């Protein structure tokens, strides 16, 4: 057996790196990876990719948009999974991934940036809950929101 | 280098790597926490009166960041109440910092007969917990300080009497 320095280094990395990663809780942005798109002139779609061992509460999502002249409708959630705890009883939660449709019920003449604001909250099975997290996505639009040209 | 020496060297390196990996990956090391902002912080209590955490210096302090929307936070609090009742006379002092709406905190504190000071904060309390080592911003998050104000223990997630008692045995 010949133990060259490179082999030793590789073995060190194999031992050290996973043990570091496994014991750390993820930052909320990594536990609940957010993305958003404008899938039609009247509908935003928000997607969260949820890390293994983490979940998000259905009733703690909030969505808003700027500028204020634009009005969002009721978000369309898929069915969640039932989660039970002794304090809040049964709640619907999402694991793995959730895609939420957010209709735009009243548009406005927009030329420039509109910002979708998403607030969410989730927990880790290992026993911590994250503070509500706000994430945003900017869209560059030309024209009215009812029939926008999406430039970015 | 003989084969036996190579094997011994390999075992030694692996031991160092294992111990080092454990050390690096374990709970945040108390030395990494700047407790100054926590002791200097002034936040309103349940009656709205400002309270400075440093005023309790000299006791063994357990500073617990929590919220009413956080199930693991609610699970540990009755145990804190029991330990405060049992060990308060020996110099143990729990302090709760709720990142929440004041009315919800007041209702929960009343219902659960919380017998230690609760302060309420928003963004300021979030930043405080991060300065105290709560990198991921999760709750509950708890630090234990000895009588000189040095952080001796940090905990992500729920605590119970079995975990805390040995820590207190060394400090009280």
CATH class for the domain made up of A3-141? mainly beta
**In terms of CA atoms, which chain A residue is nearest residue B122?**
A131
pLDDT in tens, A94-123: 999 999 999 988 766 666 788 999 999 999
Contact status of A79 with chain B (Cβ, < 8 Å): no
Residue to substitute from B4, B136, B160, interface A, most A β-carbons within 10 A: B136
pLDDT in tens, B15-66: 555 444 444 444 445 546 788 999 999 999 999 999 999 999 999 999 999 9
Structure tokens at A143: 């024209």
Quick check: B22 and A25 CB within 8 A?
no
**A114-137 burial, b for 16+ CB within 10 Å, e for fewer?**
bebebebbbbbeebbbbbbbebeb
Identify the pLDDT of residue A28: 93
**In terms of CA atoms, which chain A residue is nearest residue B140?**
A128
Identify the pLDDT of residue B25: 41
Quick check: B137 and A28 CB within 8 A?
yes
For residues A28-43, average pLDDT: 92
Residue bearing tokens 């659960």: B112
DSSP assignment of B65-106 equals EE-TT-HHHHHHHHHHHHHHHHHGGGTEEEEEEEES-HHHHH
Query: Higher confidence at residue B9 or residue A51?
Result: A51
- pLDDT greater than 70 at residue A5: no
Identify the pLDDT of residue B156: 92
Interface of A with B in 89-128 (CB under 8 A): 121, 123-124, 126-128
pTM of the model: 0.77
% residues pLDDT > 90 (chain A): 52
pLDDT in tens, A40-98: 878 999 999 999 999 999 999 999 998 877 889 999 999 999 998 877 788 999 999 99
Residues of A in contact with B140 (CB under 8 A): 128
For residues A137-147, average pLDDT: 71
Interface of A with B in 9-68 (CB under 8 A): 11-12, 15-17, 19-28, 60
pLDDT in tens, B53-104: 999 999 999 999 999 999 999 999 999 999 999 999 999 999 999 999 999 9
Query: Higher confidence at residue A38 or residue B5?
Result: A38
Q: Which residues, in sequence order, are CB contacts of A131 under 8 Å at separation 6+? A: A28, A121, B67, B99, B126, B137, B138, B139
Residues of A in contact with B156 (CB under 8 A): 25, 127-128
How far away is chain A from the Cα of B40, in angstroms, using its nearest Cα?
Answer: 23
């Amino acid at each position: 057996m010949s133990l060259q320095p490179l082999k030793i280094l590789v073995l060190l990395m194999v031992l050290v790196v996973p043990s570091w990663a496994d014991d750390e809780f993820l930052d909320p942005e990594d536990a609940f990876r957010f993305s958003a798109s404008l899938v039609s002139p009247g509908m935003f779609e928000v997607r969260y990719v949820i890390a293994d061992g983490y979940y998000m509460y259905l009733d703690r999502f909030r969505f808003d948009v700027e500028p204020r002249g634009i009005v969002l409708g009721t978000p369309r959630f898929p069915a969640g999974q039932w989660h039970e705890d002794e304090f809040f009883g049964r709640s619907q939660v999402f694991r793995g991934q959730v895609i939420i449709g957010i209709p735009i019920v009243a548009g406005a003449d927009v030329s420039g940036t509109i910002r979708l604001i998403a607030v969410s909250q989730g927990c880790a099975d290992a026993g911590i809950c994250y503070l509500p997290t706000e994430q945003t996505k900017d869209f560059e639009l030309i024209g009215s929101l009812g029939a926008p040209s999406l430039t970015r | 280098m003989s084969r036996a020496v190579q094997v011994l060297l390999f075992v030694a390196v692996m031991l160092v790597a294992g111990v080092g990996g454990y050390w690096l990956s374990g709970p945040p090391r108390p030395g990494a926490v700047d407790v100054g902002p926590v002791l200097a912080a002034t936040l309103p209590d349940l009656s709205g009166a400002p309270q400075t955490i440093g005023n309790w210096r000299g006791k063994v302090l357990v500073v617990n960041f929590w919220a009413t929307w956080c199930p693991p936070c609610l699970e540990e609090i009755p145990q804190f109440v029991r330990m405060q009742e049992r060990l308060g006379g020996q110099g143990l002092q729990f302090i709760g910092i709720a990142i929440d709406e004041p009315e919800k905190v007041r209702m929960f504190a009343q219902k659960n007969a919380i017998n230690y000071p609760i302060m309420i904060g928003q963004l300021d309390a979030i930043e405080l917990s991060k300065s105290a080592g709560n990198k991921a911003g999760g709750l509950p998050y708890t630090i234990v300080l000895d009588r000189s104000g040095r952080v001796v223990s940090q905990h992500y997630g729920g605590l119970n009497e079995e975990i805390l008692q040995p820590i207190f045995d060394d400090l009280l």
